Structure formats: C-alpha cells, structure tokens
Amino acid sequence: MVDVAVLVANGATPSEAVAWTEAELRESFDRPESEISAAIEDLVRGRRILRDGDQLRRNPEDHDFFDETNLVGRIDGLNRQMDVLADTVWRRLIEPEGGTAAARSYVFAARGDEFDALVADVLAVLQARAIAADASAQEKGSGTRRGITIAATDLEDLS
C-alpha cells in the first residue's frame, strides 16, 4: 500500500494527466484493488489528494513532496532524479527535437559555508518557482510534466 500512496502523492500519473479516476489508477498499478482503494483513502484523508467529482487531484497546497527528512520520499526522490537524468540524456543525444532538455555542471572552489549558502539559495528559488508553475498548470487545467534535478556535493580533492 505504501508504494501506491507514495507514487500517487509524488505525481505518478496515468497518461500524463493532471487528474485521475480511481479506475485509471487501478489500471495503472499492478496492485490488488483493496490496496489501491486503501492508498487512495489514506491520501484523501491526509489531504495529499482531493476529490473533485469522480476525479482525484493532487492537493496544490500540499508540498510535503519537498520534505528532505522523509526516508521514503528521499528514496523516491533519488529514483525521480534518475528518471530526469535519463530523459535529459535521451532528449539531448538521441532525440534532440523531442523537447526541452538542458544539463549544466559547474565545478569550482568554495568555502563550506559559502557553498552551503549557495545550495540553499538555489534550492529555495527552484522550490518556489516549481510550486508556482505547478499551481498555475493546475489552475489552468493544462501543462506537461517537467523535471529538474539538482545535485550538489563536495568533490574529491585531486591536488
């Protein structure tokens, strides 16, 4: 049950839609119907998703998917990072006409506190803009799922 709840809460969508019916979710996940129903009810009760007639929508005010302390969310986030990286490589090298894809790496020297502040600033801006873009797409009832992945770390000192 947790796998289904995490997938739906973190944006797993059948056919890249903004909303799903319970029937679409049952078709999309290879899980027993009772498990999917229980996961949906957990998500509705926790206000992670909202009922809108027969549609289920992610609650645009719920941004727990950015929580760095949740181990399940962190593992799901790592899997999502790999998806974004793989799609980026594919679009840049195999099908460049397939849509927007960008990759940048910056390697530089910095003091620990300056690096930590830079990373915090970049993540704060990205989170705010991603939440705003998602809310706009939800409000307008359109939009294509997009992904940006960020990785920042100390590198091995080769000097």
Average pLDDT value for residue range 110-130? 92
Question: What pLDDT, on the 0 to 100 scale, is given for residue 13?
Answer: 42
pLDDT tens string 78-105: 777 888 888 888 888 888 787 788 888 8
Measured CA to CA in angstroms, residue 89 lies from 83, 100, 104, 145 at distances of: 10, 11, 12, 17
Average pLDDT over residues 131-154: 86
Q: In what order do the strands lie in the sheet with 55-58?
A: 19-20, 55-58, 49-52
How confident is the model over 100-117, as a mean pLDDT?
91
Mean pLDDT of 108-132: 92
Examine the pLDDT at 122 and tell me if it is beyond 60: yes
DSSP codes of every residue in 78-142: HHHHHHHHHHHHIIIII-GGGS------------HHHHHHHHHHHHHHHHHHHHHHHHHHHHHT-
Domains and CATH numbers, the chain: 2-58 (1.10.10), 68-140 (no CATH)
Is the CB of residue 59 less than 8 Å from the CB of residue 52? no
9 has a pLDDT exceeding 80: no
Per-residue pLDDT tens for 25-81? 888 888 888 888 888 887 888 777 888 888 888 776 665 555 566 677 677 777 778
Task: Report the sign of the C-alpha dihedral through residues 28, 31, 33, 34, in that order.
Answer: negative
* Count of CA atoms in the C-beta half-sphere (13 A) of 85: 11
